Amino acid sequence: MSSEPVRDVPARGRPGFGVAAGAGGGADTGAGAGPLVGVDAGRLRPAWAEVDLDAIRHNAAVLAEEAAPAQLCAVVKAGGYGHGAVPAARAALEGGASRLAVALVEEGRELREAGIDAPVLLLSEPTPAAMAEVVSLGLTPAIYTPAGLEAVVAAVRAVDTGAPFPVHVKVDTGMHRVGATPEEAVALAEAVSRHPELELEGVWTHFAVSEEIGNPYTARQLAFFEDTLARLAAVGVRPALRHAANSAAALWIPQSRYDMVRCGIALYGLAPDAGATSRPPADRLRRALAIKARVTYVKEVTAGERLSYGLRYRLQRDSVIATVPLGYADGVTRGLSAVGGEVLVAGRRCPIAGTVTMDQLLVDCGPGAVVARGDEVVLLGRSGDEEITAWEWAQRTGTIAYEVVCGISGRVPRVYPDAL
For the stretch 22-47, pLDDT in tens is 333 333 333 333 333 344 544 689 99
Within the chain, which residues score under 70 in pLDDT?
A: 1-43, 420
- Verify whether residue 144 is a known catalytic residue: no
* pLDDT for 230: 97
- Homologous superfamily (CATH) for 53-275: Alanine racemase (3.20.20.10)
CB 30 within 8 A of CB 324: no
* pLDDT for 101: 98
Model pLDDT for residues 201-255, shown as the tens digit of each residue = 999 999 999 999 999 999 999 999 999 999 999 999 999 999 999 999 999 999 9
**Burial of 265 from C-beta contacts in 10 A (0-12 / 13-18 / 19+):** buried
Model pLDDT for residues 288-304, shown as the tens digit of each residue = 999 999 999 999 999 99
Q: How long, in residues, is the chain?
A: 420
- Report d(CA 368, CA 17) in Å as an integer: 6
* pLDDT for 3: 35
* pLDDT for 43: 64
CB 383 within 8 A of CB 344: yes
Task: Look at the domain 7-50+289-419 and name its fold.
Answer: Lyase, Ornithine Decarboxylase; Chain A, domain 1 (2.40.37)
> Where do you find CATH 2.40.37.10 in the chain?
7-50+289-419
217, 292, 309, 328: which is the annotated catalytic residue?
309
The reply to whether omega before 281 is within 30° of 0 (cis) is yes
77, 144, 258, 297: which is the annotated catalytic residue?
77
- Verify whether residue 309 is a known catalytic residue: yes
